[in-house]
Amino acid sequence: MASKSGIRLGIVGMRLGLWHAGAIAEIDGVSIAAVADNHQGKLPGPDISLTEWAKSLDADAYTDGVEMINNADIDAVDLCVSPKWRLPLVEAAAARGLPVLLEKPWGTNMAHGRALADVIHRSKLLHMVEFPLRYFPPIIALKALLDDGPIGRPLVVNAEIVMGAAPAKMPAHWMWDPDNGNGVVNENTCHVFDTISYLLGAPVSLHAFGANFHGASASLPDGIVANIRFESGAVASVTGGALGADALRTPTWLDVYAETGQALVTGIDHMYDTLTWGRFDDKGEPTRQHWPNPPLRTLIVRYAIETFVNAVRTGAQPESDADAGLKALALAMAVNESVASGEPVDLRR
C-alpha cells in the first residue's frame, strides 16, 4: 500500500473517468494505479486503447471493475460509472475496505439509493459523493457568512443551474433511462439540491412545476421550478433542467437572503467563481470576492477529489456522504413525482 502522502487510486468508468484523471494529474501526492472500463473501443480515444493509455501512466488496465477492485494495488476507488452499475462495485470496495468516491447522482431511485447506503453504513466504509459545487471556494466562503457568521441565518434562497438542451442532442444518454439516471433533474439539478442542503440543512417538503418539453422521455421533466421548505424554516426556489443555450455556458447563481444581510454567488460552466455580499447596516459598495475557475470545464471535479484524497490520508469522513446523496436523490425523485401529480411531496414520509 502507499505511504500517507502517496495515494494510489483505481478508477472505474473512463468516460467521465478521464475528467477525473485530468484533475488527479493536478494534485500532488496521488496517482492513478489502475483503470477499468468494459468499452475499450471507445475510450480514451480512437488512436489509443485503454491498455496503452494505462501503460503510459504506469497503471494496470482491467475490463471489469469488480476484478480491479478485488486485485489492483490501490488505496481507494473512484467510481465514475452511472448509478445502475454501482452496487456490486460498492460491495466489492466494502469487502476489501477500500475508501470509495462515487460520482453524482447518488442512485437511480430511492430503493436503489438506500441499498447503496446500507452497504456503506454496514461496512462503516469511508466514502464520498462527488458533489463538486459545495467544495468551490465561493460556497465555502458563503457557508462561513451564514448562521453564526456576519449575515446570520439563511431565510430565503433562489438558485439556478440549467444545462444546455441535452434531450435534443443526447436522447439515448443514460440520464433519460428511468432505470439508470432517471432524468436530468436527478443527473444535473442534483448539483444545486446538494449545495442548498449543505447550506440550509434537511429539506422537509417540495412542490415542483415543469414538464418534459423536448420529448426525450415523456415521464421525466427537463425544465422545472421547485419550491422547497427546510426543517430550519428556510425556503428555497430552484430552477433546473436542460433548456439552456450552450452559448451562455450554463450560467449558475445562488442568492441568499439572510437575517442580517444578503449574499450572491455566481459563475458559468457549472462552476461558481464570485461571491458578493453585504449586511443590512453596511454603507457603500458590497464586499466582492472572485476566484478564477479551473482553466478547463473538465477540472470541475478538482476541489472535490482533493477533499477525497485528504480524507483517505487522514481517515476523516467527508461531509458529502451517503446521507447527503440520499437527500439530493429524494429531492430529485420528489420533483418528478410532484410535476406528475401537481401536488406537494412530504419528504419526511
pLDDT tens digits along 21-48: 999 999 999 999 999 998 765 566 667 8
> For 226, phi and psi rounded to 5 degrees?
-120, 130
Checking if the pLDDT of 89 tops 60, the result is yes
Average pLDDT over residues 288-305: 93
Q: What is the mean pLDDT of residues 107-132?
A: 98
* Distance, CA of 326 to CA of 118 (rounded, Å): 11
Residue 49 has a pLDDT of 84
- Single-letter amino acid, residue 232: S
Domain with CATH 3.30.360.10 in the chain: 133-294+327-346
Provide the mean pLDDT of the chain: 94
Cβ atoms of residues 182 and 336 within 8 Å: yes
Unique residue bearing C-alpha cell 466514502: 127
Q: Where are the beta strands (DSSP E) in the chain?
A: 7-12, 30-36, 60-62, 76-79, 100-103, 127-130, 154-164, 203-211, 223-230, 235-244, 252-258, 261-268, 271-279, 287-290, 345-346
Among 49-58, 84-93, 129-138, the range scoring the smallest mean pLDDT is 49-58
202-245 pLDDT, tens digit each: 999 999 999 999 878 889 999 999 999 999 999 999 999 999 99
**Using 50, 70 and 90 to split pLDDT, how confident is the model at 333?**
very high
Lowest mean pLDDT among 139-153, 160-174, 220-234, 246-260: 160-174
Task: Compute the distance between CA of residue 92 and CA of residue 97 in angstroms, rounded to an integer.
Answer: 9
Per-residue pLDDT at 2: 43
Residues 6+ apart with CB under 8 A from 241: 162, 163, 184, 185, 188, 189, 210, 221, 222, 223, 224
Per CATH, the homologous superfamily of domain 133-294+327-346 is Dihydrodipicolinate Reductase; domain 2 (3.30.360.10)
Looking at residue 44, what is its pLDDT?
A: 61
Q: Which residue has the cell 446570520?
A: 152
- 145: left (phi > 0), else alpha (psi -120 to 50), else beta? alpha
d(CA 307, CA 343): 39
Q: Tell me, what's the pLDDT at 10? A: 98
Over residues 277-303, mean pLDDT? 94
34 φ/ψ sector (left φ>0, alpha ψ -120 to 50, else beta): beta
Query: Where exactly does CATH 3.40.50.720 map onto the chain?
Result: 7-132+304-318
Q: Hey, which residues does 224 pair with through a beta bridge? A: 210, 240
User: Burial of 346 by CB count in 10 Å (0-12 exposed, 13-18 middle, 19+ buried)?
Assistant: exposed
Contact call for residues 263 and 277 (beta carbons, < 8 A) = yes
Backbone Cα Rg of the chain: 20
The CATH code of the domain at 7-132+304-318 is 3.40.50.720
Residue 3 in this model has a pLDDT that exceeds 60:
no
> Above pLDDT 70, what percent of the chain?
97
